[in-house]
Every structure is written in structure tokens, then in C-alpha cells.
Amino acid sequence: MVKTKENCPLCKKPMQKLYSPFCSQKCADIDLNHWLGGNYRIPSEPKNEEEINELHNSIKETLDQK
């Protein structure tokens, strides 16, 4: 139970390095569409990579709760 292997946050299939953290281009696109489509509220424009990662993590948590 201590496996660190990550799964796609969208469909839970094993992650592919190429599309990290997703399993495929499709899931990466879905995530991107969520961003662009305004399904997620972005409080302020992310200014650096750290903020973007933080935001991305909160999105992943939201998806995981489903």
C-alpha cells in the first residue's frame, strides 16, 4: 500500500511521464479545458510556476473528491 506510483487525477489510470500528471494527451487536454473554460475559479493570475503548481494541486484535490 506504500506505492508512490501516481495515477491520472482524471481517470485514475497509471500516469504517463510524457503527459505528467495525466495518463494521456486527452486527459491533459481535459484539464486544460477546465482551466480555460472557467470551471475553476482562479482568484488571481498566477505569476510564477510555484503558484501555478499550487493551483494545479488544488484542482487535483477537487477532482479526487469526486
Could you say which of 2, 3, 4, 10 contacts Zn ion (CB under 5 A)? 10
Residues 6 or more apart from 27 whose CB is under 8 A from it?
Answer: 8, 10, 11, 19
In Å, how far from its chain's centre is CA 30? Answer: 9
Q: What is the rounded distance in angstroms from the CA atom of residue 38 to the CA atom of residue 4? A: 31
Residues 15-34 that bind Zn ion (CB under 5 A): 23, 27
Q: Does 42 bind Zn ion (CB under 5 A)?
A: no
If the CB atoms of residues 13 and 33 are measured against Zn ion, the closer one turns out to be 13
Query: Residues in the site for Zn ion, rule: CB under 5 A?
Result: 8, 10-11, 13, 23, 27
